[in-house]
Amino acid sequence: EAGSLGSGGRTMTTQGALARAAAALASSAMARVSRLALQTREVGRSASAMAASSASRKVASFTRGYSGYLSNNPRRGRLDFGRLENYENALYGLMGVNTVVFASWQVVSPTFMLKHFACSTEAIRNFRPHTLLTSMFSQFDFGHFAVNMLGLYFWGRDIGQLLGGRRLLALYLAGGLAGTVVQVGLDYANQREYKWGQPRERYCLGASGAVNAIVTLNILLFPKSTVLLYFFIPVPAALLGGFFLARDFSGLFDGNSGTSHAGHLGGAAAGLLYWLMRFRRFY
């Protein structure tokens, strides 16, 4: 029995040693796994830092390069309105836009063009205010287009040389907008049998208001200059301007006229206002 007990004691001792050895091995393995995980995290952080540093260097390099490009090309990277200071760019640009819109009337759906390039009370009421601008680049027919472009070219050159391209463009837009607003306002005032916004056959279009603003300013600045009416009849500018005004005022009372006399007068008023604000003090 004693031997049996001794053998059992040795067996228990051996099992305890094995358990301790297994625990030690497990602890060592856990320690190694922890160290490996820590090393992996450190490698990941190092790789992320290297990638971020590389991206930062690339961004900084691109920024320095683009900044140098902009410094050598100061007009790059922003809208360039400096070219409009040259009156010829503005003048030929206006004529070009008028030409493109006139050609569009010949090839694009008339319904679309009438809806978006002619102004009326119906257009304003139905939230198409862009027609206040687009209508000043539309023309009724080729004769209308030719007369307006000739007037813009011959009178616009003098104003462009005097004021510069940007002011020429601003005067064109102001005259066209004033002419359209006056004509549409008069149409609304005359609508007795129609309600506001109801479709009408009368639409306002043409560059005449814009051109009249330029012509009026030219006449006010150079009233004693000579104008060749129909290219061969010499007429004083002041006399020609008075004739135009009388014709448009009388046309207001002609209910059968298809000409936008109110639009002409609105454009002339814009030219007069510009003259009063900018040049009247010199006289």
Catalytic residues: 208, 264
Long-range contacts, 216-224 (Cβ 8 Å, 24+): 216/241, 216/267, 216/268, 216/270, 216/271, 216/272, 216/275, 217/159, 217/171, 217/271, 217/272, 217/274, 217/275, 218/155, 218/158, 218/159, 220/271, 220/272, 220/275, 220/279, 221/162, 221/275, 221/279, 222/158
State in Å, rounded, how far the first CA of the chain is from the last one.
142
The enclosing H or E element of 234 equals strand 233-236
Torsion of CA 32, 38, 41, 46, to 10 degrees: -110
Of the candidates 190, 210, 208, the residue with the CA atom closest to the CA atom of residue 200: 190
Q: What's the rounded Cα separation, in Å, for the pair 43 and 30?
A: 20
The enclosing H or E element of 246 equals helix 237-251
Torsion of CA 74, 80, 82, 88, to 10 degrees: 140
The length of the chain in residues reads: 283
| Contact present, 179 and 256 (Cβ < 8 Å) | no
